[in-house]
Structure 1
Amino acid sequence: MKKMIVNGGRRLKGEVTISGAKNSAVALIPAAILADSPVVLEGVPDIKDVHSLKEILELMGVQVSFENHRMTINPENMVSVPMPSGKINSLRASYYFMGALLGKFGEGVVGLPGGCYLGPRPIDLHVKGFEALGATVSTEHGATYLKTQEDGLKGTRIFMDMVSIGATINVMFAAVKAEGRTIIENAAREPEIIDVATLLNNMGAKIRGAGTNEIRIEGVKELHGCRHSIIPDRIEAGTYLALAAAVGDGIRVQNVIYEHLESFISKLVEMGVEMTIEEDAITVHPVKSLKPVNITTIPYPGFATDLQQPITPLLLKADGESFVTDTIYEQRVNHIPELVRMGANARVESNMIAISGSPDSELHGTDVKASDLRAGACLIIAGLMANGTTRIANVDNILRGYDNIIEKLRHLGADVYMEITEDIRKDEAE
C-alpha cells in the first residue's frame, strides 16, 4: 500500500514551477494520432495519466518516447485495434480516442472511460456530435463502437446542449478531417480548448474560433506532424497559490498565465490574500487575516470546479462562514468528511458546502483517503496546515494529475514523503 505522509505545522517558503497542463496533455496525446508523421509535445507533465496514455498508444503500434517532459509520438505504423478494457478504463480522458480514431480510421472500439468518480458524467453529448457528423455509435458490453459510412464524415452544424470540454474536443477531433465545414455552437471556452486547436492547426487543420462559444472547422484531407509546447497547468497553479496563502511565508509560483486564473485569483483577493503579479509568475505574501467568501463553480471563465477542493482548507482560516456551490459536479463533496475527521467545522447541505472558519481553528493530523485527484490536493494542504502527521491513502489519485508533487513540496520546505508498505491480507497474517 502507498500513502503520502504529511508532517504539518511548518511554514513554507521559496519558489515552485508549474508543469504543463494535465487537462491539455490528456487531449493533445490522442490528438497526435491524427497526424501522418511524428508529433513532438514539449512540457508534458510526468503524471500517471500520461503514462497510461503512452501505454495505450503503444498497444496500437504507435512509437512513443517520453523523457524530460518531452513526448515524441510517431503514428506512422499505427493500427486501429479494439480497446474495450484495460488501461482504457482507468482514466476519464480515454474517451478522446473515440473522436481521434473516428477522425483517423473512420471507426473505433473504445471501452467506457473511468477516472475519478464525481457523479454521472455521460458521453451523450459526444455521441450526439459524432452522429451529427454521420457516424453510427452503439454501446455493447461496456464498450463504445463507432463506425462511419463509406463516404466518410460530413461537416455540419452542432449545438452542444451543455457546455462540455470533453465533447467539444472530441467533436473537433472527428471534424478536422470531415468533408466540408463543421460549426460547434455553445462550445467550451477553456484554455485547454485553445491549446488543442493550436496543435491541430499546427498539424494542418483549419480551426477558427477556439476560445469562443462558436468553433468553425474546415475539413482537410491530411494532417502532418509538428512541435508544440503545452500551456501551464492552471489547476496546479491554483493549488499552489491556495497552499501558499494557507501555510506560506512568501512563495513565488512560476510559469503561470494570469488570464487563465482570473476568477480564482479574484476570490483570493476578496479573502484578503496579498499577491505580486508578474508576467509569468505570482508571489503570494504571508497572510495576516482572511475574510469568508461565497464560491460558485461555473464553466470557464468562471471559477473552475477543479479548484473548489484545493481552496476549501484555506476557507477554514477565514473569520466567518463561507459557502461553496459546485454547479458542474454536485457530488464533488467527498473531501468534506475527511476534513471533518481532521477537526474542520464543515458540512454538506444539499448541493452546497458550508465552512465555518476561524483564524484560531486548528486541524490535527490523522488517517484520511483521497477520493479523487483534487480531493487529494485538498487533503495535502490540510495536512500541511494541521498539527501532527496526516497519512493520505489512495495516493494514486493524486499522482494522476500532479507532477513531482513530493519533490516540489519538499523544495518549499515541507516534511512530506511517500510510504510504501506491503498489503498483507488478514488471513495471511493469521
Structure 2
Amino acid sequence: MSEIHVRGLRALQGEVLIQGSKNAVLPMMAAAVLHKGTTVLVNVPRIQDVFCMMGILEYIGCVCTLDQGILTINAQHIKENRLPSERVKRMRSSIILLGALVGRTGEAYTGYPGGCSIGKRPIDFHLKALEKLGVSIREEDGCLEAKADELKGGIIEFPFPSVGATENALLAAVVADGITEIRGAAMEPEIQSFCSFLESMGAKVKGQGTSCIKVEGVKSFHDTCFFVPGDRIVAGTYLAAAMAGKGQVRLKGVPACHLSAVIRELKNMGGDLEEEENGLILTMDRQILPADIVTGPYPDFPTDLQSPFLSLMCVADGISNMEETIFEGRFETAQELRKMGAVIEEKENKAAIKGKRALWGCHVAAPDLRGGAALIVAGLSAEGTTIVSGCRHIERGYEDICRDLQMLGAEVYRKV
C-alpha cells in the first residue's frame, strides 16, 4: 500500500497550474451518452474518478481515449443500459448516468452508488426529479430500474439545492418533450459549466447560475469540443496548504470568482490575496488567525473544503469553529488530526478547534478524498514527518498532489 510522506514547517514559494475540475468533467462525460457522435473534452484531469467513469462508458458501448488531457468520447453505439455494479460502487457520481441513459435509450439499470463514506447522501432527490419528467422507477434486490416511454417536460422543485440531482434533472430535461423548469437548482460553478457544455452540444438551457433553470428539450445533439475549467476544490486545498506552510504562491488556471467564499475566509485568517484574470496569489507571513466557518451550498463555503480548513484551524492562534450543514460524516478527519496533537471538540454537526502553533508528525490514515488532502495540509504545519496512508482516496480527485506541492517547495513524496 502506498503512502504520502510530508515534512512540515517549510515555507512554500512558487506557482502551480490547477488541474481540470473533477466535479465539472464527470457530468459532461455522462452527457456524452446523449449524443450519437463524438464529444471532446479538454483539460481533463488524470484522476481515478475519471478513469472509473471512462470504464463505465466503455462498458455500455462508448469508445474513450484520454491523451495529454484531451478526452474523446464516441457514443454512437450504446449496447448496454445496465451499469457495471463493481464500478458503480466505487464512485458516487455514477448515479448521474441514470438520467443520461434513460434520455438515450428509454431505460437504465443500476445499483446504488458508492464513493466516500462522509454521510448518508440519499439519492431521493435524483429519483423524484426523474419521476417528474415521466420516468418510472422500481427497486428490486438493491437494483434501480428506470424506464420512460417518453420523457415530458415538467416542474421540478428541490427542497434543498443538490448538485448531483440538478445534473440528473438536466440530463433528462434536455431531451424531454417541452419545457422543464428546475426550481431550487444548485448554483455551483460546476453547474454553470455543465449548462454551458450542454449548450455547446445544442441543448437549450437558460438561467444557469440561478436557482431556477429552464430547459427546452431537443431531439438531437451535435459534436462539440469543450474546455473544462480549473478545479476550485483543488485550488482551495492548495491555498489552505500555502497558508499552513506560509510563504507566497501563485495558482494559475482557476477563476478567482469561483472561490469568493474561500478567499473571504483566508483573508479573515490573515492571508493576503491578490486576484488575477485566471488565478490568484496568496502571501502568508504571519500567525494564522482563528475563524468561524459554516459550510453550505454555493455561494457559501464549500463542504468539500471543510476538512482542509479544519487542518488549518488546528494551527491558528485561538479558538475556531466549524459548522457542517451538508454531510454529517465530514468530521471523520478530526480523529486523525487528534493523533497529530490537534484539540478538537465535536458536538453533532459542529466542531470547536483550539489552535496551537504546530502539530507533530505521525502516521495517519485518509478517511476519504478531502480528508486525505486535509492530512497533507496538516503535515505541512507539523513538526517532523507525517505519513498518510489510504492514498487511493486522494487519487480519486487529485491528479498528483505530491507533484503540485513539490512545485511550491514542499517536502512531500509518495512511497510505495
Shorter-chain TM band: over 0.9
Partner of 1:109: 109
Is residue 228 from structure 1 mapped to residue 216 from structure 2 by the alignment?
no
One-letter amino acid matched to 2:294: T
Whether the aligned pair in 2 keeps the contact of 1:80 and 1:105 (CA below 8 Å) is no
Share of identical aligned residues, percent? Answer: 42
Partner of 1:373: 369
Offset, 1:391: 1.4
**2:57 & 2:275 partners in 1: Cα distance?**
40
One-letter amino acid matched to 1:394: G
Q: What are the superposed Cα offsets for residues 29-79 of structure 1, whole Å, 9 maximum, x if unpaired?
A: 111111111000001111000011111111112110001111000001222
Is residue 417 from structure 1 mapped to residue 413 from structure 2 by the alignment?
yes
**1:287 & 1:340 partners in 2: Cα distance?**
26
1:13-412 paired onto structure 2 within 5 Å: 13-149=13-149, 152-358=150-356, 361-412=357-408
Gaps of 5+ in 1: 421-430
**2:354 & 2:202 partners in 1: Cα distance?**
53
Whether the aligned pair in 1 keeps the contact of 2:322 and 2:351 (CA below 8 Å) is yes
Bigger mean CA offset, 190-199 vs 248-257: 248-257
TM-score (norm 2): 0.98
Whether the aligned pair in 1 keeps the contact of 2:22 and 2:231 (CA below 8 Å) is yes
One-letter amino acid matched to 1:272: G
Partner of 1:246: helix, strand, or coil?
helix
Partner of 1:285: helix, strand, or coil?
strand
Offset, 1:9: 2.8
Whether the aligned pair in 2 keeps the contact of 1:84 and 1:112 (CA below 8 Å) is no
What RMSD, in angstroms, separates the aligned Cα atoms of the two structures?
1.2
**1:9 & 1:194 partners in 2: Cα distance?**
38
Partner of 2:284: helix, strand, or coil?
coil
Q: How many residues align?
A: 416
Partner of 1:6: 6
Partner of 1:252: helix, strand, or coil?
strand
One-letter amino acid matched to 2:399: D
Partner of 1:424: none
**2:111 & 2:380 partners in 1: Cα distance?**
38
Q: What are the superposed Cα offsets for residues 342-394 of structure 1, whole Å, 9 maximum, x if unpaired?
A: 01122212221111113xx2211111111111101110011111112211111
Whether the aligned pair in 2 keeps the contact of 1:271 and 1:291 (CA below 8 Å) is yes
**1:280 & 1:70 partners in 2: Cα distance?**
20
**1:310 & 1:354 partners in 2: Cα distance?**
15
**2:81 & 2:32 partners in 1: Cα distance?**
17
TM-score (norm 1): 0.95
**1:269 & 1:208 partners in 2: Cα distance?**
34
Whether the aligned pair in 1 keeps the contact of 2:56 and 2:84 (CA below 8 Å) is no
Offset, 1:84: 4.9
Change (3 A) 1:385 1:290: closer
Whether the aligned pair in 1 keeps the contact of 2:263 and 2:273 (CA below 8 Å) is no
Partner of 1:220: helix, strand, or coil?
coil
Gaps of 5+ in 2: none
Whether the aligned pair in 1 keeps the contact of 2:36 and 2:77 (CA below 8 Å) is no
**1:48 & 1:18 partners in 2: Cα distance?**
17
